[in-house]
A and B are shown apart, each in its own frame.
Chain A
Amino acid sequence: MIRNFENLNIWALPLNKYLFAILLVSLGLFSLIIAHYAYANYDFCGARPGTYSSCNNYMSFQDALAYAEHRMIDTFRPPDPYHITFIMTSWYPKVYRGAPIYTCYWIMDNFNSRMIYRNCDYNGRYLNDYSNITISTGVTAGYYPGRDPTTTLEIRNADPFTCASRPWDCRVYAQASSFYVIWP
C-alpha cells in the first residue's frame, strides 16, 4: 500500500463521478467564503501600543430602495495596553441606485460602558453628494480583552419621506468596527 502511494501519479487519476462531486462541493465552499468576505460590514482591527493603525471596513447593501457601497476607515492608536485613542474616521460612499442618507457615527467605550462620542454632522445628508468625508474624532476609550471599543455608522436606505410612503422597504444599515490592542 505504501509502495503504491509512493509511485502514485496524481495527474493520471481517473476523474470519476465521485471525485467530480467532491470538487463541486469544494467549489461551493470556496464561493461561500468569497461571498462572506465581499459583503462583510464589520471588522476587527488591532494595533500594538504606540503604533498607529487604520481599520478598513467595507459594506455593500442592495435592497428595494438603494444599492450602494461604503468604506469606513477608522484611524486609531493604543497609547498603552489599556486604552485606544481614535484619531479620525474617513468615509467613502459609492451609490449605484437610490438616495441613501447618513445619520450618526458612534464610538462606544465597552470597558466603561459609555457612548463616548456621537457625531451627527452629516445627519440627513445624501451619500450621493460626497466622494469622501473625514472627521476628526480624538477620543480615548478604555480597553481590556473582550471589552473592545466599537465604532458604528448608521446609514438609512432612504429619507424619512420615502420611508413614510414605503415603510416596509425602509432600512437602517449599521457599519461597525471593533478594536483591540495587540499585547506585547
Chain B
Amino acid sequence: MKLRPLAVLLSLLWIPLVLLMFGSVRAPMPVHAVQEPPFGVSGEPLESALRRISFPIWLPTWLPFTPTTPLAFVINHPNGVQTIHIDYVDPQSRAFVEISITNHPVNTISERYKLQKVIVNGEYEGVFVDNGIVQMLSWNQEGISIMITASRSDHPYPISILLQIAAHLKRVQ
C-alpha cells in the first residue's frame, strides 16, 4: 500500500518528457506576445458585423446589379488591426462586389499583374488590378484602407464601374 504514491509518480513521469519533445516547454527565451489565431471566421449579417468594429465604414449606395442580403466577415489581425469584408452578390448573373475596409493604411503590391494608378473620388491615389478572375480597386483615405473587389461571369468589370462604386460609397459610422 505504501508504494502507491511512488507508482503514481512513476506513471506520470513520461508527461514532462513528451511536453519537452513537442516543444510546449522550452528553454528560457525572449517573451513574445501570444497571438490568438484568427481561425475560421463565420459570415454574419451586416448589422451584427458593424457592431463589432469601431472604425469608419463606407457602404455602397449604388451597385451594378441588385444584390441579395449582404454577408459580412470581420477578421481580427494582431495588434488591434481589423478588416471587414462585405459581400454583395447577384447569384442569377453570377456577379459580386466586395467592399473590404481595414483600420490601417495598406500598401498593395502585385508580383504578377500590372498595377494601374488611378485617382479615386478626385483626391485619393489608388491602384487598380485585374487578375483575370476579379477586378480590384484599392486606396487609403483618412488612415484606413478601402478595397473594392468585383467580378461577373461574362466579362471583366471595367475600371470605370469600380470608380463609380467608389463614388457612391457613403459613410455610415
Contact = CB atoms under 8 A, between A and B. Distances in A.
Whether chains A and B associate is yes
Contacts of B28: none
Nearest to A121: B112
Given A13-B7, A19-B7, A161 B96 contact: yes
Given A5-B6, A123-B131, A171-B40, A164 B71 contact: yes
A10 B7 contact: yes
Given A124-B134, A165-B91, A173-B40, A8 B79 contact: no
Nearest to A177: B35
A110 B96 CA distance: 33
Interface in A14-52: 16, 18-19, 22-23, 26, 29-30, 33-34, 37, 40-42, 44
Contacts of B11: 19, 22-23, 26
Interface stretch (B16-24, B52-60, B118-126, B165-173): B16-24
Interface of A: prevailing SS: mixed
Given A115-B105, A146-B31, A172-B85, A18 B22 contact: no
Interface of A: 1, 4-5, 8, 10, 13, 16, 18-19, 22-23, 26, 29-30, 33-34, 37, 40-42, 44, 59, 61, 63, 106, 108, 110, 113-125, 135-136, 139, 145-148, 150, 152, 154, 160-161, 163-165, 167-168, 170-174, 176, 178, 180, 182-183
Given A23-B11, A113-B79, 16 more contacts: A1-B2, A33-B18, A40-B37, A115-B102, A115-B105, A118-B108, A120-B131, A120-B147, A121-B111, A122-B131, A123-B131, A123-B136, A146-B32, A150-B77, A173-B40, A174-B77
